[in-house]
C-alpha cells in the first residue's frame, strides 16, 4: 500500500483536557530489555491524562526500496499510522557498537519515507537510553539524534536521561527499582508533554 496522503499534520489546539498520546518505541527486541523496562516504568509514571502505548519492532522488515515500491508491508503501514496518531514519541535505545540497533534504524528509515510525507517530520520526540556499562549509551543517543534530526523530527534536547549500570537498577522481573531514575523519567515525560503542547500551539498560531 503506497502512502499517497497529502502532507498533513495532526495539529492539536493545546487543549490540556484532551488525552496526550505518546508512542513508546523500544530499540531493543530483547524480551528482558533494559530499554523496554525504561518504557514500562515510563508508562507507570506518566501523569494523568497521558496515554502511553509501547510497541515492538520485531515485525518490521529491513528497509528495501524494491519492497517499498510494491507498497508498505502491513507492519510498516501500522507503524506509520501509530506515529501519525501520536502526539509525541518516546524512543528508548540501546547502544550497539557506538550506534543504534539495526532494527530501530530500519524502522525509522521506513517511517521517513516518502520524504515529502514523512510521519516523522515535525513530530516531537524524546530519547532515553540504558546500558549495563558506565556511559548509559550516550553514543547511541547521539547517533539516534543525528538520524532523527535528518528526518525533520523535533528532538527534545534536555533533560537527558542516560541510564548507566542498568543491570543494578532492575529487579529480576525486569521492573525498574531505582527511585532516582524513576524520578528522572517522570520529569522527562512532563517536559515532553509541556514542550509538545507549546509546539502544537505555536503551529496553530502560525
Which residues sit at the interface with ligand FNR, rule CB under 6 A?
A: 28, 30, 33-35, 94-98, 130-133, 137
194 sits in which H/E element: helix 179-205
**In the complex with ligand FNR, which residue's Cβ is closer, 57 or 86?**
57
Which helix (H) or strand (E) segment holds residue 138: the answer is helix 138-151
Q: For residues 104 and 33, is the Cβ–Cβ distance under 8 A?
A: no
Smallest distance from ligand FNR to CB 56, Å: 12
Q: What share of the chain is helix, strand, coil (3-state, %, to 5)?
A: 40, 15, 40
Q: Which is nearer to ligand FNR, 137 or 156 (CB)?
A: 137
Smallest gap from Cβ 1 to ligand FNR, in A, equals: 31
Q: Could you give the dihedral angle defined by the CA atoms of residues 46, 154, 142 and 77, in that order, rounded to the nearest 10 degrees?
A: 80
Mind giving me the DSSP string for 87-99?
Answer: SEEEEEE--BTTB
The nearest distance, CB 131 to ligand FNR, in angstroms, is 4
For ligand FNR, the closer CB: 28 or 112:
28
Q: Which is nearer to ligand FNR, 20 or 96 (CB)?
A: 96
Provide the minimum distance between the beta carbon of 108 and ligand FNR in the complex, in angstroms, as a whole number: 17
Amino acid at each position: 500500500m503506497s502512502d499517497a496522503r497529502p502532507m498533513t499534520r495532526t495539529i492539536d489546539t493545546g487543549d490540556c483536557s484532551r488525552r496526550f498520546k505518546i508512542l513508546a518505541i523500544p530499540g531493543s527486541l530483547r524480551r528482558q530489555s533494559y530499554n523496554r523496562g525504561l518504557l514500562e516504568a515510563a508508562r507507570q509514571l506518566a501523569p494523568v491524562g497521558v496515554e502511553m502505548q509501547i510497541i515492538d519492532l520485531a515485525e518490521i522488515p529491513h528497509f528495501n526500496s524494491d519492497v517499498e515500491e510494491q507498497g508498505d508491508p502491513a507492519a510498516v503501514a501500522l507503524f506509520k499510522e501509530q506515529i501519525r496518531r501520536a502526539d509525541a514519541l518516546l524512543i528508548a535505545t540501546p547502544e550497539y557498537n557506538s550506534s543504534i540497533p539495526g532494527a530501530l534504524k530500519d524502522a525509522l528509515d521506513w517511517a521517513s519515507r516518502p520524504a515529502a510525507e514523512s510521519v516523522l517530520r515535525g513530530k516531537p520526540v524524546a530519547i532515553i537510553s540504558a546500558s549495563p556499562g558506565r556511559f548509559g549509551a550516550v553514543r547511541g543517543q547521539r547517533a539516534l539524534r543525528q538520524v532523527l534530526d535528518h528526518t525533520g523530527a523535533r528532538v527534545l534536547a534536555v533533560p537527558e536521561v542516560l541510564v548507566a549500570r542498568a543491570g543494578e537498577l532492575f529487579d529480576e522481573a525486569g521492573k525498574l527499582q531505582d527511585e532516582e531514575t524513576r524520578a528522572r523519567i517522570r520529569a522527562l515525560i512532563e517536559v515532553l508533554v509541556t514542550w509538545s503542547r507549546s509546539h502544537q500551539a505555536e503551529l496553530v498560531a502560525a
